Amino acid sequence: MSRPGIARKIAAQNRALAEGYRVRRVCVVPDIASQVLRLVGRFWNELLAILRTLRCDAVYYRYSPVLVMLNPALWIISRFRPVWVEYNSVYRGELALVAPAAARLHAWSMFWLRHSRARHLPINREIGIEEGLNGNVQVLGNGWDSPSQSVSVELAEDHCQKLGELSKQYRPLGVFVAGDNAAWHGFDRILKVVDQHQFGLILVGPRQEGELVDLLTERQQLVQLGYLEPAALPAVYSFADFGFGTFALDRKNQKEACPLKVRDYLTSGLRVVINYADPLLDVPWASPFLYQYEKDKAKTLLAFLNSPYDRDRLAEEACERLDWVALFAEVGVLGGAGA
């Protein structure tokens, strides 16, 4: 899978589901370079997936708009056994802008799923509203690996030296995991916040391109580490005081999100500065540790970051609450009807 964060999420979900089921994973979209072979492989895999779901006691499905046979088949299957459908984006808006053909497939797929008896699990409220989901809908949110499954690795010596020097010179010290450098991550806006408050910043991810290259080289308060394996991130977080989340979600016409990196920060005991609506803002244990940059003008950012808190306690509670076993139990996938 090309995005390691998603691969890590799915692996964690599979381990959680194994607490209540004998899990059989079915990957429908093949990883093949040729478009023709990929299309043929996808249709073949869809047929196999339909046959396999007929032999299962329950189905957990990560929604894809292009599976034109599986989505209608779930309309039928949901009448005989539990089906949960996880939605990770507002596909209707995104696909209309970048892939009109896929948007039409999405409309076809959603017609069947909306009228099915499947239990809809959008990761935030906005997805459920924009996609017209109704009936059996529960916000799932996002989780992360349980501590027992996370294996930390040591950072390279030069990275440790750079981060140690940066942490001595700049406090508070933030961290941002850039991922795939998507425009809606808003790294350019994060740089403005760093400049305004003279924070230090650790940047994890591939080299920035275009105008940001010069901006990065000019900043003494920034260390760019490049891409790191997920297992190395806890060591990076140990130097930081807080994490930056998504800052420009408006660039894809959305207001709500549920980023995996924010959950990762919290499970390492970091408070998080965001610029969007996160489902965790409505959760009592998590909301005190999230700061909405443009909305929380009543209290200054520095007051938020400098206020005392128990970092170890936050990490402990986040690991417990954001474990996929706990999240699945809350929405009935584990320990509920059909489990």
Over residues 32-50, the pLDDT tens digits come to: 555 666 677 778 888 988 9
State percent of the chain over pLDDT 70. 86
Structural domains of the chain sorted by starting position, each given as residue range(s) with its CATH number in brackets: 4-143+324-330 (no CATH), 147-321 (3.40.50.2000)
What is the spatial distance between Cα 269 and Cα 172, in angstroms, rounded to a whole number? 14
Provide the token pair at 320. Answer: 């417990």
Q: How many residues does the chain have?
A: 339
Q: Is the pLDDT of residue 337 over 50?
A: no
pTM: 0.88
Over residues 77-134, the pLDDT tens digits come to: 999 999 999 999 888 767 765 677 788 889 999 999 999 999 999 999 999 999 989 8
What is the spatial distance between Cα 206 and Cα 177, in angstroms, rounded to a whole number? 10
Over residues 253-303, the pLDDT tens digits come to: 889 999 999 999 999 999 999 999 999 999 999 999 999 998 876 568 999
What pLDDT does residue 74 have? 95
What pLDDT does residue 261 have? 93
Q: What is the mean pLDDT of the chain?
A: 86
Q: Cβ neighbours of residue 88 under 8 Å, at least 6 residues apart? A: 62, 63, 123, 127
The dihedrals phi and psi of 287, each to the nearest 5 degrees, come to -55, -35
What pLDDT does residue 27 have? 74
For 159, how many CA atoms within 13 A lie in the half-sphere containing its CB? 19
Can you tell me which residue has the tokens 């909306």? 114
Left (φ > 0), alpha (ψ -120 to 50) or beta: where does 304 sit? alpha
Q: What is the DSSP letter of 83?
A: E
**Average pLDDT of span 239-266:** 93
Amino acid at 179: G
What is the spatial distance between Cα 210 and Cα 224, in angstroms, rounded to a whole number? 16
**Average pLDDT of span 52-64:** 92
**Average pLDDT of span 164-182:** 89
